[in-house]
Amino acid sequence: MGKRGKSMSIPSERERIRGELRGEPVSPGIAVANALLFETVALDVLEIDSYLVNDIPNEFNKLENALEKSREQLRKIYRQLNEKSSGNAQDIVKIQLQLLDDVSLLNESRELLLSCRLNIEHVIARQIRILETRFASMDDEVLRSRFFDIQDTYQRILRNLLNIDHMKSDPLKRIETDVIFIANRLLPSDIALLDFKKITGIIIEEGSALSHAAGMLKSIKIPAIIGAPGAASLIHTGDSLILDAYSGTVLIWPNEDDKLVYTKKRRELPSNTPLPKTTRPQKLFTADGRRVRLEANISSVREAREADAYGAEGVGLLRTELYYMSQDHKPPVEEELEFYRSISCIMKEKPVAIRLLDLGADKLPSFLNFYEEENPQLGIRGVRYLLRNPELLRQHLSAIIGACKTADIKIILPFVALPDDLHSTLDFIYEVCKERNVSKQRLNVGIMVEIPSAAFSMRSFFPKISFVSIGTNDLAQYLFAASREDSGLQEYCRIMRPVMLRLIKRIAREAQACKKAVSVCGEAASDPYIATLFVGCGVTSLSMRPSSIPAVREAISRMSFIDTRRRLREALLLD
């Protein structure tokens, strides 16, 4: 964050108008605190970091492109506000859109560029400072407050100039009081960098409840909403907020009545529910005796404890990339091995399915290099990335296979599209087995089924694997060609759609015919109703958020397998 955040007393100068925003709840709870808006662009750094440019038209071009990108983003927010929100939010976005077309302001930037011949990012940062000084000296409070719109708009232009869409450093080092954290967009790697001691709530403007970021927020258990159009433009650092992450409502500058209502509501909520007393996992059967395993999706030692406490029969999905993203350097092999050992130890030697690093797209640890890609979600992700980085893959496998010696470990390959992806990765696995002196017969290898090409060619994979794990989050994204990150497209990604259920049924049938275990580890397995449909499809194991295990257990134990099939038949008729 630049000097700005510290020097301006924003809340006292801004109009304290009560406003309301809406988003999708991802982690329930109520938070009452002042806002901390994560500003990705540090002006002071840009002011120092300038360089002479020869190609002035090129700098103009960069500015034009950033303006156009900003326009598109604001128009999208405007449309979304129309659907979701109330109050004067749309007016503010409209003002920002007008500012993007304000010829006099833009001419000032152009003149500044022509006179100093320095890079355009520096020019814009300088112009924000000039405007800040100009507006700060105005007597008229209404006019003075216009600076906030200008600042928001120019920050957006800067972010687009710098292609910043995620944070690259820990933004909370200087925070001393509790805050509700607001960001335009958060990537899983950003979340891994946050210090949650001071964050009582999280509001993210872009994204959907199916995104990786949302998945992480759920497990962190801080009240959070995502897909809240306008949040990062309308809320400013220091604004007083109430976040109701049950209904997905944010109140900006709540009045006394609001505060009373929410204080009461908060008092009535069960206080931080402690983990249940660890119970030995009981085997789950449907009412007519069909066995279904319930396992947990985890990414940390803390979640392993939760999984054990909620009676998980094992870890069905350990997302290793989140462990990597919480580090600031590549973990040494022995340290990584120790991480797997501690998880297996907490799980009391129950099976742990370790997924190889699913890096790429939005999961980019700061200490690794990534490719510039046109379309990262369709790019170098999962095993594609690992196979292009053989040294990383060898070291990663060395830690996992090292852990196999003393623990019941399974290995899952992420983002497998072709049998070749599997075969090439297996070559590495066998090589490391030799080095580590582990018999490859001991290994239990499976693949994520999350790309339609794999889902429709299961039999090509079966000779080399012992299980499959269906990743419904990605499978839906790629089946319906609808980004899981985009809250406006969630209508497409419904797991309940007959085409999706039919595909899962088909995978389960093929797996059964070839005597392979089949599990679902996507977010949908945490939903008790959908979980019973998966059982009806023939899935024999479900892996989910640990806290969902009791409800899913209850729902499945109450139904016979025949009932789940009947329910599935009904669902297949609906659209």
Environment class of 198 (CB within 10 Å of its CB; exposed 0-12, middle 13-18, buried 19+): middle
- The footprint of ligand PEP on residues 199-218 (CB under 6 A) is 212, 215
Closest distance to Mg ion from the beta carbon of 450 (Å): 5
3-state secondary structure of 280: coil
Closest distance to Mg ion from the beta carbon of 331 (Å): 22
CB closer to Mg ion, 477 vs 532: 477
- The footprint of ligand PEP on residues 509-548 (CB under 6 A) is 521-522
Binding to ligand PEP by residue 299, rule CB under 6 A? no
CB closer to ligand PEP, 231 vs 354: 354
Closest distance to ligand PEP from the beta carbon of 299 (Å): 9
Binding to ligand PEP by residue 410, rule CB under 6 A? no
CB closer to Mg ion, 308 vs 450: 450
Which one-letter DSSP state was computed for residue 374? S
Environment class of 39 (CB within 10 Å of its CB; exposed 0-12, middle 13-18, buried 19+): buried
Stretch in the footprint of ligand PEP (CB under 6 A) among 16-24, 383-391, 470-478, 496-504 = 470-478
**Which partner from the list Mg ion, ligand PEP, none does 516 bind, CB cut-off 5 to 8 Å by kind?**
none
Site string for ligand PEP, 444-463 (x = CB under 6 A): ------x-------------
Closest distance to ligand PEP from the beta carbon of 500 (Å): 12
CB closer to ligand PEP, 40 vs 526: 526
Closest distance to Mg ion from the beta carbon of 355 (Å): 9
The pair phi, psi for residue 417, each rounded to 5°, is: -110, -35
Site string for ligand PEP, 304-333 (x = CB under 6 A): -------------x-x--------------
User: Do residues 360 and 380 make contact, with C-beta atoms less than 8 angstroms apart?
Assistant: yes
Stretch in the footprint of ligand PEP (CB under 6 A) among 288-296, 389-397, 459-467, 472-480 = 472-480
Inter-CA distances, 213 with 55, 186, 287, Å: 39, 7, 37
User: In whole angstroms, what is the distance from residue 84 CA to residue 74 CA?
Assistant: 15
**Which partner from the list Mg ion, ligand PEP, none does 132 bind, CB cut-off 5 to 8 Å by kind?**
none
CB closer to ligand PEP, 244 vs 523: 523
Site string for ligand PEP, 229-268 (x = CB under 6 A): ----------------------------------------
Give the DSSP letter string of 252-263: ES--HHHHHHHH
Q: Which helix (H) or strand (E) holds 470?
A: strand 467-470
CB closer to Mg ion, 454 vs 533: 454
User: In whole angstroms, what is the distance from residue 41 CA to residue 162 CA?
Assistant: 9
User: In whole angstroms, what is the distance from residue 47 CA to residue 137 CA?
Assistant: 22
How large is the C-alpha radius of gyration of the chain?
26
Total length of the chain: 575
User: In whole angstroms, what is the distance from residue 487 CA to residue 446 CA?
Assistant: 31
User: In whole angstroms, what is the distance from residue 92 CA to residue 242 CA?
Assistant: 20
**Which partner from the list Mg ion, ligand PEP, none does 522 bind, CB cut-off 5 to 8 Å by kind?**
ligand PEP
**Which partner from the list Mg ion, ligand PEP, none does 538 bind, CB cut-off 5 to 8 Å by kind?**
none
Contact footprint for Mg ion (CB under 5 A): 450, 471, 474
The pair phi, psi for residue 562, each rounded to 5°, is: -60, -40
Q: Which helix (H) or strand (E) holds 120?
A: helix 120-136
360: left (phi over 0), alpha (psi -120 to 50) or beta: left
Binding to ligand PEP by residue 471, rule CB under 6 A? yes
Binding to ligand PEP by residue 474, rule CB under 6 A? yes
User: In whole angstroms, what is the distance from residue 318 CA to residue 377 CA?
Assistant: 21
User: Do residues 112 and 123 make contact, with C-beta atoms less than 8 angstroms apart?
Assistant: yes
CB closer to Mg ion, 308 vs 362: 362
Instruction: Note the Cα 417 to chain centre separation in Å.
Output: 22
Stretch in the footprint of ligand PEP (CB under 6 A) among 7-15, 115-123, 422-430, 466-474 = 466-474
CB closer to Mg ion, 275 vs 481: 481
Token look-up 């993007």 returns: 100
Stretch in the footprint of ligand PEP (CB under 6 A) among 71-79, 133-141, 465-473, 533-541 = 465-473
User: Which residues contact ligand PEP by CB under 6 A?
Assistant: 212, 215, 317, 319, 358, 450, 471-474, 521-522
